[in-house]
Amino acid sequence: MRITPTVALRGALVQPVFALLVLASVTGCSPQHRLEGVTNQADVEVAQFAKHKQAQMLALSQKRKIPVPPEFATLMEAASRADWMAVSNAYESVRERSGWWAGSKPVDPVIRNELWHPVHEVYWVFLLLREFHPVNLAHYREDLLGQLPSRSVLFAGTDPGRFLGTLFLEAQTNANVTLITQNVLADSTYEEYIRDTQPSVRMPSIDEANAAYRQYIDDVRAGRVRDEDVVVENGRVSVEGVKGIMSIGSQLARWIFEHNNDTHSFFAEESYVLPWMYPNLSPCGVLMRLDKLPLSKPQDDPAKWQRIIQDDFVFWDKISSRFRVRPELWADVYARNTYCKMRCAIAGIYEYRGIVNAAEKAYQQAVALGSANPEAAFRLANLYMRLNRPEQAIHTLRQLEKDFPAGDPRIGLTRDAIKQFESASRTNAPAK
Q: Is the pLDDT of residue 3 over 80?
A: no
Superfamily of domain 15-25+298-427 in CATH is Tetratricopeptide repeat domain (1.25.40.10)
pLDDT in tens, 239-294: 777 888 888 889 999 999 999 999 999 999 998 888 999 999 999 999 999 999 99
Half-sphere exposure (Cβ direction) of 359: Cα atoms closer than 13 Å: 23
Residue 181 exposed, middle or buried by CB count within 10 Å (0-12, 13-18, 19+): buried
Q: What is the pTM of this model?
A: 0.89
The DSSP H or E segment spanning 153 is strand 152-156
Highest mean pLDDT among 4-18, 77-91, 402-416: 77-91
Task: Please give the full DSSP string across 96-108, using - where no structure is assigned.
Answer: TTTT-STTPPSP-
Q: What is the pLDDT of residue 224?
A: 84
Mean pLDDT of 381-409: 93
Q: What is the pLDDT of residue 356?
A: 97
Helices (H), 23-106: 40-64, 70-80, 84-95
Average pLDDT, the chain: 87
190 within 8 A of 117, measured Cβ to Cβ: yes
Distance CA 213, CA 193 (A): 19
Tell me how far CA of residue 7 lies from CA of 376, 377, 379, in angstroms: 21, 21, 17
- Nearest alpha-carbon partner for 339 in 363, 366, 361: 366
pLDDT in tens, 289-309: 999 999 999 999 999 999 999
Q: What is the pLDDT of residue 104?
A: 58
267 within 8 A of 145, measured Cβ to Cβ: no
Instruction: Calculate what percentage of the chain has a pLDDT beyond 90.
Output: 64
Q: What is the pLDDT of residue 242?
A: 82
Domain ranges (residues) in the chain: 15-25+298-427, 33-130
- Nearest alpha-carbon partner for 119 in 166, 160, 64, 185: 166
